[in-house]
Amino acid sequence: MSKREFQTEVSQLLHLIVHSLYSHPEIFLRELISNSSDALDKLRHLTLTDETYKALFASEQIAPPRIDLELNEEAKTLTISDTGIGMNEEDLVSHLGTIARSGTKNFLSHLSGDQKKDSNLIGQFGVGFYSVFMVADKVQVISRKAAEDKTWKWTSDGKTGFEIEEVTGPEARTIAGTSVIIHFNDEGAQYANSWRLQEIVRKYSNHIAFPIFLTYDKSEWNAEKKESIKTRTTEQVNSASAMWRRSKSELTDEDYKEFYKSLTGDFEDPLLWFHTRAEGTLEYTTLFYIPAKAPMDLYQADYKTGVKLYVKRVFIMDDSKDLLPPYLRFVRGVIDSEDLPLNVSREILQQNKVLTSIKTASVKKILSELKNLAENDPEKYATFIAEYNRPLKEGLYGDFANRETLLDLIRFKSTKVEGLTSLAEAKSRMQPEQKALYYITGGNESILRNSPLLEIYKKKGIEVLILDDDIDEIVFSTVDKYGEIDLKAVNKGAASEDLKDENEPAKAEELKPLLEKLKATLGDAVKEVRVSTRLADSPSVIVSDEDEPSARMRQMMRAMGQKEMPEPSPTLEINPDHEIIRKLLADPTNAKTEDAAWLLFDQALLLEGVPLKDPATFVQRLNRVLNQSI
């Protein structure tokens, strides 16, 4: 027997869970049954597709799939057994003693102290097994892995660590599978009751596609002996049908909600769901859910996919990132195909035309339902957007077939309205002389709203959309139209073409000596210095060419590790009507012009949210100018 300690993160989670982060302790049964169902899914797939496991099944070393609950009311124990894939020593350590996901510490950092909010995070994280320690002071897991001949026992009190040992004799399993033996504590004693267990199974696990049997002591009145006699009874306590294959007319909202919770481990109801059965050239069923809260790992590279693939009700896999595009990784649910082969591999999936067709149709269905929601229930759609606006933006970068739909679904901050707005609404507010829909990108809403680049648009009453997500510049650089309307970034050169006035050539000619002096002073720090048509109150601003990343974007990409970022110089634009520029124009050879040139450039960088490369020199110049002006 080997005594081991829990991984640090597991100990922290156990402490949180046991101290009532789960709002309903009865959830432990749902979580353990769900784990058994997953184990049965995995083994059933192998017995249908792998010759080794087919032979084991034929020789009865693998039993038909089922889940058994065995209650001992007197001893206050409950045993949950399955005939699934089973675990060996290594599996028991990795599954029950550690959490082998890179987001664990990130998860713990999200905990707020709010029990309801934190319990939802725990559900999302998928650590449901540990919920058993809310109701137990000791748990034993006895398991034999399919195709192996050893039985292992894992024992823990949920506090001091765990023990693992090989077992033989009566405790050893003769067939593959797992038994979880729960020794109820005082809190859990209420569940050592057959009626209560049946109630919980029907509430949370009725849809589980495998039969669940409950064995318990049933009291029956013996008329002859005139006394109540207990008999050991076994009854099936769930319907054991694949819920997603049932007709929508047979299902209630509660059916859908409980299936979602069992599928995901979430504690909150889903925001919405879409249930579709396709018949014709291809036959398949999909049941997709949108969680009320974004999955915790939504922005992690190792995010866990939320859609399970079945073929003819047989589980195939739940970790393929090819079932839906990455920007819809928040969707949870099931795809069940009649046309895929049972032995379809992850590699074959990537090239499979059937799955490609299902995926294409599924994406269109999800986006169509979201569009219906936006049109018919704006308040609920606003809840969706608060969680998932950014992933939808990611779709613009790769899903060209659905770009127009995505542009209709995404919402934007604006200089014209409070809250968020759509492109369609912004289009309806365009000024008669307005030539495009305008937006500004960058990393900070406050900086963007106060950018000098917006001055002329505010003066003319033209709306500008505020795109302050860090991915916006990358994503929207690939989008140049909304329908027939041009989309233009005000911090790029092309937008200024729409603002030109008849006096610009004369102003440019008038300022030519100053422009040349400023360019000579700044050298390679700027691509050019030119007269601006977009400034009303500020003396200067920097802009980038259409095909170049902005200074802010270059800064962000370097922070992400791209050290070899090209360093194209920005263009400095100056306001020909600003008092500072007029004074410099009066004497371009003035000794103060050199300091003024750099200060105009540096302040433009600061207004873009870009840190200065040499703050000390900036301060020295500023002090010199202040000293001369006082």
Q: What pLDDT, on a 0 to 100 scale, did the predictor assign at position 291?
A: 96
- Map 373-442 to HEC letters: HHHHCHHHHHHHHHHHHHHHHHHHHHCHHHHHHHHHHCCEEECCCCCCECHHHHHHCCCCCCCCEEEEEC
DSSP for 25-68, written as a single string: TTHHHHHHHHHHHHHHHHHHHHHHH-HHHHHHHHTTSSPPP-EE
pLDDT reported for residue 565? 58
- Name the amino acid, one letter, at 586: A
Which residues, in sequence order, are CB contacts of 99 under 8 Å at separation 6+? 7, 9, 10, 13, 127
One of 1.20.120.790, 3.30.499.10, 3.40.50.12280, 1.20.140.10 is the CATH number of 412-630, namely 1.20.120.790
Question: What pLDDT is attached to residue 109?
Answer: 61
pLDDT digits (tens, 9 = 90+) for 43-72: 999 998 899 999 999 988 899 999 999 999
Domain 244-378 has CATH 3.30.230.80: yes
Q: What is the pLDDT of residue 120?
A: 54
pTM of the complete model: 0.77
- For CATH 3.30.230.80, list the domain ranges present in the chain: 244-378
Structure confidence at residue 345 (pLDDT):
73
The pLDDT of residue 100? 46
Q: Are the C-beta atoms of residues 151 and 143 closer than 8 Å to each other? A: yes
- How far apart (Å, rounded) are the C-alpha atoms in residues 181 and 618? 70
Which CATH number does 2-237 carry? 3.30.565.10
Amino acid 264: pLDDT: 86
pLDDT at 174 (0 to 100): 92
Output DSSP code: residue 300. Answer: S
Spans in the chain with pLDDT lower than 70: 8-9, 16-23, 98-127, 493-496, 500-503, 547-567, 588
Given a contact cutoff of 8 angstroms between Cβ atoms, the answer to whether 439 and 514 are in contact is no
Residue 102 has a pLDDT of 44
List, by residue range, all CATH 1.20.120.790 domains of the chain: 412-630
Closest CA to 593 of 539, 538, 517, 513: 517
